[in-house]
Structure 1
Amino acid sequence: MSNVSVTKAAELSGVSRQTLYNDMDSGKLSFTPKGKNGRVINVAELERVYGSLSLGEKGDKDVSRSVKSGQNELTLPENQLIELIKLREKLSGLESLTDQQQDEIENLRKSLDKAQDSHQRLLEDKREDKEKTDSWKKSFDALEHRIANQEKVAKEREEREQKLLDENRRIRQAYSKQKKALEDEKNKSFWKKLFG
């Protein structure tokens, strides 16, 4: 996780998005432009400006809080709590990886657009100079090869992204089931807990 979105950066650093934008505009926090209006921030830069980051702590606190509030009424198996924490961490990692994959796909699309523009300009140029025609043919072949490779890479990345999204969905469903099971257990009456 080298670069993160502004939302993720706010989550990691514990400051608001507005504070991040103000610090970026003032030059205190450096960033990398993404698209027309987007920005990504390097994790090392966040640590430099705001100190140590809270990786995943928010989710862990939420889980701990819900368990602590129910401890007066029931004792939860430790393995379920650990499983929930692991699922939250894995989900966070997959979301970060998905963001990176989307950035890479966007960069590949931009490269493909540039290559196609060059390709189009070559087709529209109608000069008959033999030497330039040969050079254009070589460039055209190289561009076609490059475009074919970029399309293949983009397709592979999209397939990987789809797999990640499917895995992300599976983890969310598992997390929801675990959370519901914990809530159901918490809401059982004293007698049901005692006699099953």
Structure 2
Amino acid sequence: MALFIPTYFAPIAQYSVISQCNSVTFEFEDNFQKQTYRNRCYIYGANGKLSLNIPVKHKHSENRKKTKDALIENDFPWQIQHFKSLQSAYRTSPFFEFYEDDIHKIFSKKYSFLHDVVIDTHLFVTDALQISNAYTKTSSYSSDSSEKDFRNLAIAKKGVEIEMDTYVQMFDDKFGFIPNLSILDLLFMEGPNAISFLQKISLILK
């Protein structure tokens, strides 16, 4: 069993591991934490690394809440904004049009819970990579870590060091190669060849 936290259009590092796992289990009993990939992803925009964040409702009376109970703040048109940002950044990329319709379905669907969004993005990615989309959910939280505990990959600031081959990115002539962006960056640039990149990546978990 390989254990992951489901995240929003997860970074390349996470799908590098998932693509090589026989079974995937998603942590559904953890406490929601800010500054993680749970509700954000990073893409390559015209001005460099760009964060796309799903707004999450926070109540002052709540000390802790589980990620599975996190509600989306839909008063903010985040879906429209995110899709426009992706179009602006990648519309001239080699494979954006190939995936555009399927991604648009996610940004057109109404969501209440964060976990529904991240699972839908996972199903899209596994289909695009042509890998198994099967997964199980945890029924209780365990603090025990093991060699197959990859929950740290959800930490945006210090979760992983990644060694990977470079590939052409949209604005690398301005800002250079940026590793471990959202899996979308790799898909839009490499399409079906993305899986070969994922399977050659080396990770150092922190």
Q: What TM-score results when the alignment is normalised by the length of structure 1?
A: 0.26
Q: Which has the higher contact order (CA 8 A, sep 6+)?
A: 2
Q: Select the structure that is richer in strand.
A: 2
Give the number of the structure whose alpha-carbon radius of gyration is greater: 1
Q: What TM-score results when the alignment is normalised by the length of structure 2?
A: 0.25
